[in-house]
Every structure is written in structure tokens, then in C-alpha cells.
């Protein structure tokens, strides 16, 4: 496998898994932004969808 492709795949994996980290601390994020947990979850969903569409 080409080294550049492996670096790109590893970077995209690292960027993609951050959604799972944010989902785990979602109540804390919502409290710090003074918003509801559902709205904070929708912000994470918008980020995940834009990442899925724009990453390829």
C-alpha cells in the first residue's frame, strides 16, 4: 500500500472517530454551551453528516 494512502486513511479514521468521543460527553458539552442535550446532539449530527458528504 502506498504510504500516502495509509496516512490519509489513518487521518480520516481519526477525524471520523471524534464523533463518538463527543457523543460520550454530550451532557457536559450541552451544559457548557447553555443548551439542551438534544440540540447539542443535533449539532453533532450536522457535523457528522457534513463530514460524511464532504470527506470523500
Residue 27's pLDDT is 92
| Number of domains forming the structure of the chain | 1
CB 22 within 8 A of CB 29: yes
- Rounded to an integer, the average pLDDT of 31-49 is 89
Residue 2's pLDDT is 86
**Is this prediction's pTM over 0.85?**
no
Residue 56's pLDDT is 65
pLDDT > 90? residue 34? yes
CB-side neighbour CA atoms (13 Å) of 16? 11
pLDDT > 90? residue 31? yes
pLDDT band at 35; cut points 50, 70, 90: very high
**Residue 42's domain spans which residues?**
3-54
Amino acid at each position: 500500500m502506498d504510504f500516502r494512502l495509509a496516512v490519509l486513511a489513518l487521518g480520516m479514521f481519526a477525524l471520523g472517530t471524534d464523533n463518538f468521543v463527543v457523543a460520550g460527553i454530550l451532557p457536559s458539552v450541552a451544559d457548557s454551551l447553555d443548551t439542551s442535550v438534544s440540540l447539542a446532539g443535533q449539532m453533532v449530527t450536522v457535523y457528522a453528516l457534513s463530514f460524511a458528504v464532504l470527506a470523500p
